[in-house]
Every structure is written in structure tokens, then in C-alpha cells.
Amino acid sequence: MPADTRKIFESDPYLKEFEATVLEVNALPQGQGVVLDRTCFYPEGGGQPCDYGTLDGLPVRSVTESDGRIIHSVEGASFKPGDKVRGVLDWDRRFDHMQQHSGQHLLSQAFVRVAKVDTVSFHLGSDESTIDVGIADLAEKTAADVEDEANRIVFENRPLRISVRSAGDLDSIPLRKKPDLTGDVRLIEIADYDWSLCCGTHVRATGEIGLIKILQWEKYKSGTRVHFACGSRALRIFQAKSGLVKSLSRLLTAGESEIETIVLKWRDEKKTSEKRVAALLDEVLTAEAGRLTASAVETGSCKLVSALFKDRDVQEVQNLGRKIVSSPGMVVILGAVGDRATLFFGRSSDVKTDMRELQKAAAEVLTGKGGGSPNWAQCSSERTDLAEEAMAKAIDLLKL
């Protein structure tokens, strides 16, 4: 059994480059799983993603831990046990994880102190981080107070201290979460503020976390999932939002503080004009239905209105047909041709002909699908070129 990998990141999370000896290699489809005697690469675990970087210039694609040994998946590697290798971390990624993870400890403690709620889980993603807190309804004011409290501790630049303790020796320490562990444990302390057992990598002082921003939250199980960003991520989000507000301000030729008022006014105006347009359209359709009814053709026991419209709203054509059959003795066969061909078949309540029969005859020509009731049926197809022929077939059937 090879020896465990020494975890340099536990004692020195700021070391970015290191030399190590290969203990063991396993073939992978695209390279090797490499076990070293020592490493700066943090393996995925404890809510924190793994580090990336290179071993002798070859990319490290993932890092996992199994039985105390850390396995680096290295693309294109052909190392042998005993080889000396040089590891280099992707420091931007690692430092981002340190900012988010230390920020999470601080934010979780701020939730305890301000809202008296515990954090039940933590997730650090490549784009966003979340904590799940045991509060059913998080009020805006509470979230703002928690955020202020967390940032106050950031601005005080309190040191973070890492120490290894015996699990049986923690009674005097006000841990945020009581452990279910024995043996040696790793204690992360934000000076005089938070005490947590954690295997992750952390910054030296709260000032390095940078701004802590709660972004949004939603109900999750019986509690709340809080999305947050720290440090560089918070800065990038601020830059993006600030750019968006500037752009909106330019588009509206208004000051940033006026944007909300303008949008609310537009929303109200849009609602009013939509109602007005709907009323006018209804008037137009009523007049058009009247004209078409007046020019209807006597066909057997009823009067027929048939028309094929190009590039007209399908719903509008349907509404027109419904208006026509609200008068007695009418049958309508209307078509709307755009990207698809849609045909409508309708009758007045005093007409006996089953519209489904007309629809079936037309659908056969169109090779389309349809359905409906004896009073109103429709079919549609991509074969717009066959719409006229399909309508003619239905009209012929009506004349029989």
C-alpha cells in the first residue's frame, strides 16, 4: 500500500508551485491518474471543487482523493513511479475558491448572529455559490442586515487561523456545527467570530475575501437557498450590472435613477394600448365579418363564406370565422397561409352539416392533422401549396 499524499495546501494554501515524486500511475483513456508523495492540488470535497493546473506542463483535468491518496488526472501523461515532477496551480481558480469558501464561513456565521439560523449545506460552483439556510421566509431586510454584518467583518480584516485539534478537545470552542468526528480535526477560526471544522483552502484574513454580496434567494425544501458571490466574482457581477444600467440609461436618454419610473410608465401605457388595440381589432373584424356575410354564396340549405388569407394572424382568421357563424344559416371555410396552412370549418347553430366531414376531406388533400366538433373544426399542414385545393375539396363536399 503506497504512502498517503502529503497535502501541502493544508499548511500552505498560498504555495502555487511545487516539486514532487510520482508514487503510482494508473492508465486513463486520455492520460494517467497520478499519485504523488506531496501536492498543492486540492481534491474535490467538502463543497469545494478541485484545483486545476499542470504537472510538468501537462494539464491536470481533475483531482480526487481516495483513502488518503490524491489522484491527479493528467492529460497526455506517461510518468513512471520515481519520476520527479513539477506542479503548477491555476492560481486564479484556486484563489477564487478560497475567496468563496472563506466568504461562506463568514456569511454562514452572519446568518447565525443576525437571523439565528444555521447553514445546512454549501455548494461552490464554477459560476455561483449557494448556502441552504434553515429559514422558511427570508425577508429583504434580514438579507440586507446579514450582508452588512458579513461585510463589516470583511472590513475589519480579521485573521483566519488554521489549527489541527483533537476532536475530544473542542468542548470550549463555540463551533457553528457540532462535529461527529474522532481523532485529529482541522479548525478554521475567523478571529473571535467563527469556528468551523473544514478541510478546504482559506484566505489569511477576511479582507482578502473582498466584498460579500447576496445575489438572490428562493425557497428550497423547508428552508431557503441563498446565492452569493465574493471577491473577484462580486466585482465581475457589479461590473456587468453597472454596464447594463449605463446602457439602459443611454437607451432611455434618462438618468440611472429615472429608469424604474420610465419602465413602470411604459408598462402601464402598454397595457392601456393593448386593450385599445384589441377593441379596435374587434370592431374591424365585426365590420369585415358583416361584409363577407353580405357577399355569402347560397349553397344548398346554407350560405357559404370562403376565403384564403396570406400572412395573416391565424387567431385573427379564426375570430373572423366565429363572428360570421354567429349569424344564422352560415358556413365558413377560411384558410390562413403563412409558414403553415391552417384551415377552419364552422357552421351556425341552425346548420346541420358536420364540419368534421369537411375538415377530413381537406386534411386528406393537405396530408395534415386536424380535429374539432360538429360546429367547428380545423386542420393544418406544412403543405401551404395545397391549401387552395384542400378548400375546394371541402366546398365541393358541402355542395353535394
By CB under 5 A, name the binding residues for Zn ion.
198, 200
In 3D space, the residue among 5, 30, 20 whose CA is nearest the CA of residue 89 turns out to be 20
- Of residues 47 and 370, the one with the C-beta less far from Zn ion: 47
Q: How far is the CB of 200 from Zn ion (least distance, A)?
A: 4
CA distance 227 to 232: 15
Q: How far is the CB of 191 from Zn ion (least distance, A)?
A: 16
Q: How far is the CB of 207 from Zn ion (least distance, A)?
A: 19
CA distance 35 to 132: 35
Alpha-carbon 125 to chain mean position: 13
In 3D space, the residue among 243, 244, 217 whose CA is nearest the CA of residue 128 turns out to be 217
Other CB atoms within 10 Å distance of the CB of residue 235:
14
In 3D space, the residue among 243, 238, 231 whose CA is nearest the CA of residue 129 turns out to be 231
- Of residues 12 and 19, the one with the C-beta less far from Zn ion: 12
Q: How far is the CB of 315 from Zn ion (least distance, A)?
A: 56
CB-based burial of residue 67 (10 Å sphere; 0-12 exposed, 13-18 middle, 19+ buried)? exposed
Q: How far is the CB of 164 from Zn ion (least distance, A)?
A: 15
Q: How far is the CB of 227 from Zn ion (least distance, A)?
A: 18
- Of residues 198 and 395, the one with the C-beta less far from Zn ion: 198
Record the cell numbers describing residue 322, joined without a space: 366565429
CB-based burial of residue 306 (10 Å sphere; 0-12 exposed, 13-18 middle, 19+ buried)? buried
CB-based burial of residue 194 (10 Å sphere; 0-12 exposed, 13-18 middle, 19+ buried)? buried
Cα–Cα–Cα angle for 348, 354, 357, rounded to 5 degrees: 135
Q: How far is the CB of 177 from Zn ion (least distance, A)?
A: 10
How far apart are the two ends of the chain, measured CA to CA in Å? 92
- Of residues 101 and 323, the one with the C-beta less far from Zn ion: 101
- Nearest residue (beta carbon) to Zn ion: 198
- Of residues 199 and 392, the one with the C-beta less far from Zn ion: 199
Q: Cβ(126)–Cβ(90) under 8 Å?
A: no
Q: How far is the CB of 5 from Zn ion (least distance, A)?
A: 20
- Of residues 200 and 321, the one with the C-beta less far from Zn ion: 200
- Of residues 231 and 368, the one with the C-beta less far from Zn ion: 231
Q: Cβ(192)–Cβ(157) under 8 Å?
A: no
Q: How far is the CB of 117 from Zn ion (least distance, A)?
A: 18
- Of residues 35 and 198, the one with the C-beta less far from Zn ion: 198
Other CB atoms within 10 Å distance of the CB of residue 349:
9
CA distance 106 to 253: 41
- Of residues 115 and 198, the one with the C-beta less far from Zn ion: 198
Q: What is the DSSP letter of 206?
A: G
Report strand pairing: 6-7 vs 53-55.
unpaired
